[in-house]
Amino acid sequence: MTQPPPVSGLLETALYVADMPRAVGFFRDVLGLRPMLEGDRLTAFDAGRSGVLLLFLAGASLEDMSSPGGMVPGHDGSGPVHMAFAIPAGSAEAWRTHLAAQGVMLRSEVAWPRGGQSLYFEDPDGHVLELATPGLWPNY
């Protein structure tokens, strides 16, 4: 049995949203993410550390799509999914304050055994988002 080639990181995370302008406004204005590509069907945000957050309009990506470089397979998702953003150590309180000022209610907070802190809240589509400081995982 051979070893697989190395994976160098997680590149994209996708969320499926009901209202693209509302979702774009939330991720841009509340979380401060910078759109790199904006459209009716897809918006891509710079999520830091070479990560990309993709927002797809729910149901609009079910069919395969041709691109100049080849075909992108169709995909979609439903229900409240979860994703986490890395935040600097010591910034949880600043985020608590910022989210409260934006009218975003925290659902939960967790102090992890390795020393990390997580703040959980929802986006306008009900996805469970997390802001996590280092100390959550052995590699973070």
Which residues have C-beta within 8 Å of that of residue 115, sequence separation ≥ 6? 134, 135
Q: Which helix (H) or strand (E) holds 128?
A: strand 128-132
Structure tokens at 80: 């409240």
Give the pLDDT band (50/70/90) at residue 5: confident
According to DSSP H, which parts of the chain are helical?
Answer: 20-25, 92-101
The Cα–Cα gap between 74 and 70 comes to 13
Q: What is the pLDDT of residues 98-135, one digit of tens each?
A: 999 999 999 999 999 999 999 999 999 999 999 999 99
In CATH, the number for domain 1-78 is 3.10.180.10
SS percent in the chain: helix, strand, coil, step 5: 15, 35, 50
Topology agreement, domain 1-78 and domain 79-140 = yes
The residues spanned by each domain of the chain are 1-78, 79-140
pLDDT for position 1? 81
pLDDT for position 37? 98
The Cα–Cα gap between 115 and 54 comes to 30
**pTM for the predicted model, two decimal places:** 0.94
Q: What is the pLDDT of residues 63-101, one digit of tens each?
A: 999 999 999 999 999 999 999 999 999 999 999 999 999
Q: What is the pLDDT of residues 29-59, one digit of tens each?
A: 999 999 999 999 999 999 999 999 999 999 9
Superfamily in which the 79-140 domain is placed by CATH: 2,3-Dihydroxybiphenyl 1,2-Dioxygenase, domain 1 (3.10.180.10)
